[in-house]
Amino acid sequence: MNVVEMKGITKRFPGIVANDNIHLTVKEGEIHALLGENGAGKSTLMNILFGLYQPDEGEIRIKGEKVHVTGPSMAGKLGIGMVHQHFMLVDPFTVTENIILGSEPTIQGRIDREKAEREVQEISDRYGLRVDPRARIRDISVGMQQRVEILKTLYRGADILIFDEPTAVLSPQEIDELIEIMGNLVREGKTIIFITHKLKEIMRVCDSVTIIRRGKTIDTLQVKETDENRLASMMVGREVSFDVEKEQREPGETVLSIRDLRVADSRGADAVKGLDLEVRAGEIVGIAGVDGNGQTELLEAITGLRKTKSGRVRLNGKDITNLKPRSVTRSGVGHIPEDRHRRGLVLDFSIGENMVLQTYNLPPFAKGFRLQYSEIQEHAEKLVKEYDVRTPDIHTPARALSGGNQQKAVIAREVERDPDLLIAAQPTRGLDVGAIEFIHRRLIEQRDKGKAVLLMSLELDEVLKLSDRIAVIYEGKIAGWVDPSTAAEEEVGLLMAGGKSGAEVKS
Amino acid sequence: MGKQSWGILLLCALLVITAGCGTAGNQGGGNGEEGFSAGLVTDTGGLNDESFNQTAWEGMTRAKKELGADIKPLESKRDDDYIPNLTKFAREKRDIIWGIGFKFNKAIPDVAKQFPDQKFGIVDDSLGGNIPENVVAVTFKEEEGSFLMGVIAGSMTQSDKVGFIGGITSPLIKKFESGFRAGVKAVNPDAKVTVAYAESFTDVAKGRSLAANMYNGGTDIIFHAAGGVGKGLFDEVKTRKKGKYWAIGVDMDQSGLAPDHTLSSMVKRVDVAVFDIMKDIKENDQFPGGKEVQLGLKEGGVGLAENTDKHVPEKVMKKVEDYKQQIIDGKIEVPSTEKELKDFKG
Amino acid sequence: MQVQQRQMRQSPLLTSIVSVILGMLVGAVMMLVAGYNPIQAYIALFTSAFLMPYDIGETIRTITPLILTGLSVGLAFRTGLFNIGVEGQFIIGQLMSVIVALKLDLPPVVHVIVAVIAGAVGGALWAFLPGFLKATRGVHEVITTIMLNFIALYLANTLVRNWLSAGSDSTEKIPESASLRWDVLSSLFGNARIHLGLFLALAAAFVMYYLLWRTTWGFELRSVGFNPQASEYAGMSVKKNLVMSMMISGCFAGLGGATELLGTAEYLSIHGSHTGIGFDGIAVALLGANSPVGILLAASLFGILTYGGSVMQFEASVPYEVIRIVFAAIIFFVAANIVRWAGTKFRKKAVTKDA
């Protein structure tokens, strides 16, 4: 039986058609993947199903009946629940309080806490969620928070669950647990729609998959009858190669050396706690880890954006600890920042201006205090061509470019300065397969030119694929070193979760 | 960003509206029958200031009625408007152009110089004695009228505490203060006079809070010479016990603002002065150009509001009449400055 | 409809023109409701601002300070700051220049130059304080500048009464040597109070353009204004630029005050409340989309409305308040457009990114 049928769904926004005559049919009791690149229209479609948007055209049937989903509460009545990528939980509240929020069971106006806790425990046991109803949200792990979100939808009687990129925030172990839970849910008769762009996960858990590209349905397939490469090419619209060609190379001199570094986060708590790290010329060192283990603070400390508490950072033997960002940059560090909108680009500046964001006051871009626009433009034209930044012209504001092209612009600028150390933080986050390919090639090119590359990514695949050595970061320290050519993913995952590794690579 | 923009937008709209809004305009105009025309430029107080601009305009309307004058007002929104506003009337060749208030003391000589064939009048300033030939300066002996207010207040206070609220500290307002304090001193040497200046002629809220402070401190009668600020005094006194707390108005009969709480008002007959001068021009072709016309009790330029006897007992009224006569006869020289006040012996 | 909206978003000029028309329509409706003839009033307004050379001169005189306060607000906006303190900086500009004009005895030309510079520096220093507080203590500049407006006002009042005059409500007229008026210019315009401040204002507009778009400092100022975090990443000092921006903004405002005093009023009087010229600068900058040319145009429009508005009162007996309503309505429409622009832009981006 078809639980969800979306027929001919079209949704337009000013300037774009987000969904163009999309069809989606989900059968009862299956895990149905919704696969597509960023911006393909997956979230729009699910927001329509969840009642957050109204479609311009098309009809929706839930369990065979034609419905108009007018809002999330209507969706709830229809048995649709959504587990958002960003959790909507109240930190100081307990698990139970969060779950009953908005539909509290009461006795004469008072909240019946015990009854609620009992119910939460019951659901938790039934689906193997292993959640403590009395724990406070701020005290539990990200994985458990996600399970609370799932519990919340179940508590409200959902039998169609939408998971919006649920694995993005999880460690490999937590992903395993989530997959197990998804299995339990389906066994108990629930239906799951799984939004993702990760092919591996689809192959592992899903029964069928609908591929969306540029707002259009491409196809719906049985997972058993397809493979990763075929899905990838359907998603992107052309053949993609997954393998990164990388020759073995002998690393050279140490470029970056970090000794016993301590850095506090914005709230003053130690985020990096006595960390040692070395990156040599001609190698890519990958930092793997679950988000929030001090990666951001570490990179900010190296680049001068955050003051260190103690410890030393050396570049080519020269002490650059606590230098101003400009001095760090000029002593030979390139930095592709984690968040290109927040740090990497001035979105209202033109591409040309963004290309000289650090060098605008140096010759040839400036003579004294006067900007030399002809030089700036020439420079930008060159980079745009070389790095295949697709922009109408160099006067276009960076805001108008797609994410991939924005990132290419950042990389062009950073690589062009020819730094000895290139720091790349989440360089492919949110990008489509084509752009990822391009950026990966550029990073390896830098390594092959004998530069030191420090790669931080939350995508374990990416780290494994590109790095010559992997440092796993856990709670502000390097928990262990892994050789990507020999290490298994599980082993890295264990280190990321704070376990000990048997196969430490000598650094 | 979105939220902030709205905030900014609201703030801007607010600022612009409040920056621009003074008192609402009042329209005049009409046709001269026998070709006499007059223009009146208000200072930033505007036409309905319950004060000299308004009384001046009353004189103008009387001129319209009795002399058939074509009259027109122009309200100044900023000090910078005085010159263009005067110039506009001058270009229309009006028979006389009035600048109401001492704030015109720089604009009037400037414009008068540019239009030597044009007659101008300024109220409340003597231009430091250098009055051009085509300008008449009308001033009042405010200290004399204020003295009588002091007599009333000094006689009627129960607490021996009376107050004075001034507008912007200036020699003109000092005349009110000195006269008032002298009057109090003359009849009740023990009474204490609390003096406060609002440093504004328009800030009603300030006037109210000053008044409230004084009343709370035991003062029971307050006299003001503060233009629009005085409205705050009446707003405040209205909320207080009848028969115990009193206010005294200025410039025109202000008892309408708080009928049960107003003892009297120091009336400044700007209307009479303005009208008389216009009448002289129209009917006798006489213009006291280059002169200062000073109007005191004797000339009827200042005085008590007509309904003063409503709340003031006859005994006190008699005392007031007595002092008035002494001043007219020159037996009492009313001090008009702080220094003269010091030397004043009741 | 959508296409139309996008075009409006892209062109600040169109936004401004539409807002002006809408604002004047609102004014017209108000006049109709109140029983006046709006067509007659508007004709009076625009013709009388240019009726005689004197009117043109006075209109230009009205425009001059608006250009400078508009530039002041606009420059601060460009760097992400909301300088509401233009009013206070303007007053300090007036105060400093009148002090130099009255208390220093200098030869002609030198005297006026020193007085103008004193005003500009005074404004810059007055703006330094909120900039510094924001940079070091994170105090929002809107709060501090509003407070400083009042401090400036009462400081000026106190000094006028107790030091610059003998207990009077205004200072003496400044000596000829410190005046910005120029007989040749004034006589061209029927002795209107048009003065050399106009050329300073035009020069300031050019300085703003050159500084922001042609120099490395301007590059930093704009960058910090758009995105302080990216600017920090790129090695710029956000704090330094913030203080700089406030000071340049204050410098323009102070210049406005100085020229207004030395050219128009030629004396400083005690003010019960703010002059409003600084606040009008906010309106000018908004309407002018914070660009120097836009500010010149917007200041001209507001100047014509202000001066023509008082003539309108004279000719068509329409109260001056109507003009202020037109002002406010224009700003309202400009700002509403900006809000929609920001709103749809961010919403749209979120959709395309996450869809």
A318-337 pLDDT, tens digit each: 999 999 999 999 999 999 99
| DSSP H helices in A303-450 | 325-330, 351-355, 373-386, 403-416, 433-448
**Does residue B10 have a pLDDT over 60?**
no
* Predicted pLDDT of residue C309: 82
- CB of C273 within 8 Å of a chain A CB? The answer is no
* Predicted pLDDT of residue C162: 86
Rounded to 5 degrees, what angle do the CA atoms A459, A464, A468 make? 130
- In 3D space, the residue among B195, B199, B96, B183 whose CA is nearest the CA of residue B144 turns out to be B183
Establish how many alpha carbons lie within 13 A of residue A199's alpha carbon, considering only the half-sphere containing its beta carbon.
Answer: 18
For residue A82, the surrounding DSSP H or E stretch is strand A80-83
* Among C324, C326, C337, the residue to mutate for chain B (most B Cβ within 10 A): C324
Greatest alpha-carbon pair distance for chain A in Å reads 77
pLDDT, average across residues B208-227: 94
**Does residue B251 have a pLDDT over 80?**
yes
Check residues C348 and A3 and name the one with the higher pLDDT: A3
Does chain B reach chain A with at least 3 CB pairs under 8 Å?
no
Sorted by where each begins, the domain ranges of chain A are 2-236, 241-332+419-502, 344-418
* Predicted pLDDT of residue B315: 93
- Provide the angle, in degrees to the nearest 10, between the axes of the packed helices C86-103 and C53-78: 120
| Residue C89 in tokens | 């900086």
* Predicted pLDDT of residue B14: 53
**Does residue B67 have a pLDDT over 70?**
yes
**C-beta atoms of C348 and A15 within 8 A:** yes
Neighbour tally for A70: CB within 10 Å: 10
Which phi-psi region, left, alpha or beta, contains residue A130 (left: φ > 0; alpha: ψ -120 to 50)? left
**Does residue C238 have a pLDDT over 70?**
yes
CA distance A463 to A122: 40
Give the range among A234-243, A363-372, A450-459, C50-59 with minimum mean pLDDT: A234-243
For residue A279, CA distances in Å to A438, A449, B253, C133, C263 come to 23, 15, 90, 41, 67
- In 3D space, the residue among C227, C350, C222, C216 whose CA is nearest the CA of residue A343 turns out to be C227
CA distance A474 to A472: 7
Strands A308-315 and A254-264: what pairing? antiparallel
Q: What's the pLDDT tens digit per position in B266-315?
A: 999 999 999 999 999 998 888 998 999 999 999 889 999 988 989 999 99
ipTM above 0.90, yes or no: no
Kindly provide the b/e burial profile for residues C142-177, where b requires at least 16 CB atoms within 10 angstroms of the residue's own CB.
bebbbebbeebbebbbebbbeebbeebbbbbbbbeb
Collapsed DSSP state (helix, strand, coil) of residue A284: strand
**Does residue B7 have a pLDDT over 70?**
no
Q: Average pLDDT, whole number, for chain C? A: 86
Q: Report the neighbours of A using a cutoff of 3 or more CB pairs below 8 angstroms.
A: C
Neighbour tally for B192: CB within 10 Å: 15
CATH code for the part of the protein at C22-349: 1.10.3470
* Predicted pLDDT of residue A447: 93
Q: What's the pLDDT tens digit per position in B330-343?
A: 999 999 998 899 88
How would residue B261 be classed by pLDDT, with cut points 50, 70 and 90?
very high
Q: What's the pLDDT tens digit per position in A404-430?
A: 889 999 999 999 999 999 999 999 877
Instruction: Report the percentage of chain C scoring pLDDT > 90.
Output: 57
CA distance A44 to A64: 22
- CB of C351 within 8 Å of a chain A CB? The answer is yes
Cis peptide before B335 (omega within 30 of 0): no
Chain C positions in Cβ-Cβ contact with residue A337 (cut-off 8 Å)? 233
Q: What's the pLDDT tens digit per position in A387-399?
A: 988 888 899 899 8
Residue of chain C whose alpha carbon sits nearest to that of A17: C352
CB A212 within 8 A of CB A9: no
For residue B106, the one-letter residue type is K
pLDDT, average across residues B47-68: 89
Chain C nearest-CA distance from B134, in A, is: 19
How would residue B180 be classed by pLDDT, with cut points 50, 70 and 90?
very high
* Predicted pLDDT of residue A367: 93
| Residue A389 dihedral angles phi and psi, to the nearest 5° | -80, 115
| Contact residues, C window 281-320, toward B, CB-based 8 Å cutoff | 282-283, 286, 307, 310-311, 313-314, 317, 319-320
Q: Average pLDDT, whole number, for chain B? A: 87
CA distance A183 to A178: 9
How would residue C342 be classed by pLDDT, with cut points 50, 70 and 90?
very low
Give the range among A99-108, A285-294, B43-52, B112-121 with minimum mean pLDDT: A99-108
Q: Report the neighbours of B using a cutoff of 3 or more CB pairs below 8 angstroms.
A: C
* Predicted pLDDT of residue B25: 35
Q: What is the DSSP letter of B163?
A: E
**C-beta atoms of C352 and A369 within 8 A:** no
| Beta strand spans in A168-269 (E) | 191-196, 208-213, 216-222, 254-264
Check residues B147 and B44 and name the one with the higher pLDDT: B147
Kindly provide the b/e burial profile for residues B147-182, where b requires at least 16 CB atoms within 10 angstroms of the residue's own CB.
bbbbbbbbbbbeeebbbbbbbbbbebbbbbbbbbbb
| Residue B111 in tokens | 């414009």
* Predicted pLDDT of residue B171: 85
**Does residue B6 have a pLDDT over 80?**
no
| Residue C306 in tokens | 């202000």
Q: Which residue has the tokens 């037109």?
A: C326
Q: What is the DSSP letter of C162?
A: I
For residue A80, the surrounding DSSP H or E stretch is strand A80-83
For residue A439, CA distances in Å to A59, A298, A445 come to 40, 22, 10
A254 Cα distance to chain centroid: 30
CATH code for the part of the protein at A241-332+419-502: 3.40.50.300
Domains of chain B by range and CATH?
26-140+270-295 (3.40.50.2300), 142-267+313-343 (3.40.50.2300)
How would residue C133 be classed by pLDDT, with cut points 50, 70 and 90?
very high
* Among A360, A372, A395, A402, the residue to mutate for chain C (most C Cβ within 10 A): A360
Collapsed DSSP state (helix, strand, coil) of residue B289: coil
* Among C8, C219, C241, the residue to mutate for chain A (most A Cβ within 10 A): C219
Collapsed DSSP state (helix, strand, coil) of residue A115: helix
Neighbour tally for B6: CB within 10 Å: 16
* Predicted pLDDT of residue B4: 55
How would residue C336 be classed by pLDDT, with cut points 50, 70 and 90?
confident
Q: What is the CA radius of gyration of chain B?
A: 21
* Predicted pLDDT of residue A156: 87
Q: What's the pLDDT tens digit per position in C3-51?
A: 333 333 446 777 788 888 888 888 889 888 888 888 888 888 888 788 7
Best CATH choice for the domain A2-236 from the list 3.40.430.10, 3.40.50.300, 3.50.50.60, 3.30.420.40? 3.40.50.300
- CB of C219 within 8 Å of a chain B CB? The answer is no
Q: Average pLDDT, whole number, for chain A? A: 88
**Does residue C63 have a pLDDT over 80?**
yes
Q: What's the pLDDT tens digit per position in B78-97?
A: 888 899 999 989 988 999 99
**Does residue A161 have a pLDDT over 60?**
yes
CA distance C335 to A66: 43
Give the range among A399-403, B111-115, C116-120, C300-304 with minimum mean pLDDT: A399-403
